[in-house]
Structure 1
Amino acid sequence: MQKPLTDFPTGSVVRIAGIDGGRQARSRMLAMGMTPGCPVTVLAGGPTGCRVRVRGSEVVLCCGLAGKIMAVADDSDEGPRCNCCPGPRARAI
């Protein structure tokens, strides 16, 4: 089930399912490497924002941007999977 990134607890490994935002928000997220299907590790989360690891980099997102990123649990069959991560069940590094 898709839910905002802010709803996942610290330590969760999720995949980005989509970005519910305007062109500017989508562009900003894509520029940071947060593409649909990409695995992300939630390092610190909550309703005030998130610190995540994506593609080997740590990114801090305010609650507004983090709330626009829709994600699914990495072990879920729902949502897209990226082509750049090896293996059928890619994990964030």
Structure 2
Amino acid sequence: MQKPLTQYPTGAVVRITGIDGGRQARARMLAMGMTPGCPVEILTGGPTGCRVRVRGSEVVLCCGLAGKIMAVDNDSNEGPHCSCCPGPRAKAS
């Protein structure tokens, strides 16, 4: 089941399924490498924002942006899978 990044605990590895935001928020997330199907590790999570590792970089997101990024558990069959990441259980590094 997909839910926003703000609802995942610290240490979770999730896969992005989509971005529920306007054109500007979506463009910003895509520019940071947060594309649908991409694995993301939650380094620090919570309702006030998130620090995540995506494609080998650490990114800090405010609660507004983190709440717009929808994801599923990385081992879920739900949602898209990134073609540049090896296998369905790819790491976020």
Aligned residues: 93
Q: Provide the rounded CA distance (Å) in 2 between the counterparts of 1:45 and 1:77.
A: 23
The yes-or-no answer on 1:2 pairing with 2:37 is no
For residue 91 of structure 1, report the CA deviation from its aligned partner: 1.7
User: What pairs with 1:2-41 in structure 2 (closer than 5 Å)?
Assistant: 2-41=2-41
Q: Deviations over 1:64-84 (max 9, x none)?
A: 000000000001000000000
Which ranges of 4 or more aligned residues in structure 1 deviate by more than 4 Å? none
Q: Which amino acid aligns with 1:71?
A: A
Question: Per the alignment, in what secondary structure is the counterpart of residue 30 of structure 1?
Answer: helix
Contact 2:51 2:58 (8 Å CA) reproduced: yes
For residue 87 of structure 1, report the CA deviation from its aligned partner: 2.1
Q: Deviations over 1:15-64 (max 9, x none)?
A: 00000000000000000000000000000000000000000000000000
Q: Which residue of the partner structure matches residue 75 of structure 2?
A: 75
Q: Provide the rounded CA distance (Å) in 1 between the counterparts of 2:60 and 2:73.
A: 20
User: What pairs with 1:33-72 in structure 2 (closer than 5 Å)?
Assistant: 33-72=33-72
Using the TM superposition, name which of 83-92 and 41-50 deviates more.
Answer: 83-92
Uncovered stretches (5+) of structure 1, i.e. residues with no partner: none
TM-score (norm 1): 0.98
Contact 2:74 2:88 (8 Å CA) reproduced: no
For residue 92 of structure 1, report the CA deviation from its aligned partner: 1.2
Uncovered stretches (5+) of structure 2, i.e. residues with no partner: none
Q: Which amino acid aligns with 1:15?
A: R
